[in-house]
Amino acid sequence: MTLDTTKKRHMLRQMYTIRAFEEMAEQLYMLGKIHGTMHLSIGMEASAVGAAAALNPDDYILSTHRGHGHCVAKDADINLMMAEFMGKETGYCRGRGGSMHIADVDSGNLGANGVVAGGIPIAVGVAMSQKMQKTGRICLCFFGDGAANSGPFHEALNMAAIWTLPVVFVCENNQYAMSYSIRKACKIERIADRAAGYGMPGETVDGNDVMAVYEAVSEAVKRARAGEGPSLVENVTYRYRGHSKSDANRYRSKEEIEEWKERDPIPRFKRYLLENGELTEAEAAGIEQEAQAAIADAVEFSDNSPEPDLATIEEGVYA
Ligand SMILES: Cc1ncc(C[n+]2csc(CCOP(=O)(O)OP(=O)(O)O)c2C)c(N)n1
Task: Read off the pLDDT of residues 111-136 as tens digits, 9 standing for 90 and up.
Answer: 999 999 999 999 999 999 999 999 99
Q: What is the pLDDT of residues 166-209, one digit of tens each?
A: 999 999 999 999 999 999 999 999 999 999 999 999 999 999 99
Least Cα distance to 81 among 116, 111, 48, 113 occurs for 111
For residue 314, being part of any structural domain is answered with: no
Q: Is residue 92 part of a domain?
A: yes
Mutate to test the pocket of ligand 1, among 116, 180, 246, 249 (most ligand atoms within 8 A of CB): 116
The number of domains in the chain is 1
Give just the sign of the alpha carbon dihedral 112, 114, 116, 119.
negative
Instruction: State yes or no: pLDDT of 1 exceeds 70.
Output: no
Question: Is 171 in contact with 148 (CB distance < 8 Å)?
Answer: yes
Q: Is the pLDDT of residue 219 over 90?
A: yes
In a domain, 32, yes or no: yes
- Residue 309 is assigned to a structural domain of this protein: no
Closest CA to ligand 1's atom 25: 115
In whole angstroms, what is the distance from residue 140 CA to residue 217 CA?
9
Which residue among 41, 113, 178 has the greatest number of ligand 1 atoms within 8 angstroms of its CB, and so is best to mutate? 178
Q: What is the pLDDT of residue 35?
A: 84
Of all protein residues, whose CA lies closest to atom 20 belonging to ligand 1? 177
Mean pLDDT of 209-214: 98
307 inside domain: no
Q: Measured from the CB, is residue 177 less than 6 Å from ligand 1?
A: yes
Instruction: Give the distance (Å) from ligand 1 centre to CA of residue 59.
Output: 25
Determine the pLDDT at residue 201. Answer: 98
Query: Is 311 a domain residue?
Result: no
The more confident residue out of 36 and 42 is 42
Nearest protein Cα to ligand 1, atom 17: 144
Q: What range defines the domain where residue 227 resides? A: 5-302
- Rounded to the nearest angstrom, the distance between the alpha carbon of 46 and the centre of ligand 1 is 21
- pLDDT of res. 318: 87
Residue 175 φ/ψ region, left for φ over 0, alpha for ψ in the -120 to 50 degree band, beta for the rest: left
**Residue 313, in any domain of the structure:** no
18 contacts 73 by C-beta, under 8 angstroms: yes
225 in a domain, yes or no? yes
HSE of 124, CA atoms in CB hemisphere, 13 A: 17
Q: Is the CB of 299 under 6 A from ligand 1?
A: no
Asked whether the predicted pLDDT for residue 296 surpasses 70, the reply is yes
Distance between Cα 171 and ligand 1 center (Å): 13
Asked whether 285 lines ligand 1 (CB < 6 A), one says no
- The CATH number assigned to the domain holding 109 equals 3.40.50.970
The confidence band for 319, taking pLDDT boundaries of 50, 70 and 90, is: confident
Q: Which distant-in-sequence residues (6+ apart) come within 8 Å of 306 by Cβ?
A: 88, 89, 90
